[in-house]
Copies of this chain bind each other. A is one copy, B any other.
């Protein structure tokens, strides 16, 4: 869950990190409330990257310019996303722009500090210095200092960066953040100021952070209604533009089947992984969501169950098929723990359970071309 810049900066400030004194602008009229100086920066609050290059940050010299820029920004889209708000801040002159971030590094199994002496919009092209920390208590200022002293000549600045990295790492652990990225980190009179903040929180840690839980719930209300219903019921759903509905189990297997559908010249209508809620209620909801979507021509049920015992799934499926009032064709391919009992249940219900995935996809293909 990526925090918007304004929330990220508030979090940084609460931990003693210097950030500009800005104000949130929820609608253009809020510009009147701005008591800070001009020139000011007006920044679109979006979660997509590359905002700067896409014109999402405006320098404004007067309230009139600020209003005009606000109108334009509220009306813009950044990678398909409209800004939920704008942030207005003093436009600060600075000597240098640095890059500093804390990330989680899967290969190393912990946190890493990334630094580049050249921050700003083109960071993707840089090769940052990487200090692999691991668990946070392994952080050693002297190891980072040794690394930075090769990338950065200003020794007094090195000390400030080391202290800032330590602070940002604390922000990461304390707030369960997976990324705490400051780009640019400005140098003003030798001191550091975070001009931007990209903080990604760990949604899995919502049970110990009321703010993550609230924000996740809030964002679901902004998802397409059917995706929200799925997520609310522990079904992992990503909606796609396709005609083959997919009810599946397991992330990797779901993607493998999507790839097979695509390889057969069809388009999957969704990623829909029911393995976190393999109950009658869960599967019923999955069918309801796909049945009501007119773009979907056929449904493939593909489950290779380990923890999910497919005899139970088969029983659920036969019930759902009996009750269901939708004519969309459904093709089954279920395998895994309990498969012998599952086959018997399906046969008894007069349903065909394909033995091989290839056969199931071919069956869908045959239907799909007819649809």
Show the binding face of A for B, using Cβ within 8 Å: 13-16, 137, 167, 170, 174, 207-211, 213
Expressed in whole angstroms, the Cα–Cα distance for A174 and B13 within the complex equals 15
Q: Which residues of B sit under 8 angstroms from A170, Cβ to Cβ?
A: 208
User: Considering only CB atoms, which chain B residue lies closest to A214 in the complex?
Assistant: B14
In the complex, the answer to whether A14 meets B167 with C-beta atoms within 8 Å is no
In the complex, the answer to whether A16 meets B209 with C-beta atoms within 8 Å is yes
Apart from A15-B210, A16-B207, A16-B210, list 6 A-B contacts with CB within 8 A: A13-B210, A14-B209, A14-B211, A15-B208, A170-B208, A174-B174
User: Considering only CB atoms, which chain B residue lies closest to A137 in the complex?
Assistant: B137
Expressed in whole angstroms, the Cα–Cα distance for A64 and B331 within the complex equals 67
Nearest CB of chain B from residue A170's CB, rounded to whole Å: 7
Expressed in whole angstroms, the Cα–Cα distance for A80 and B137 within the complex equals 44
In the complex, the answer to whether A14 meets B137 with C-beta atoms within 8 Å is no
Q: Which residues of B sit under 8 angstroms from A15, Cβ to Cβ?
A: 208-210
Expressed in whole angstroms, the Cα–Cα distance for A16 and B204 within the complex equals 13
User: Considering only CB atoms, which chain B residue lies closest to A171 in the complex?
Assistant: B208
In the complex, the answer to whether B137 meets A208 with C-beta atoms within 8 Å is no
Expressed in whole angstroms, the Cα–Cα distance for A208 and B137 within the complex equals 17
Q: List 7 A-B contacts (CB under 8 A).
A: A14-B210, A14-B211, A15-B209, A16-B207, A16-B208, A16-B210, A167-B208
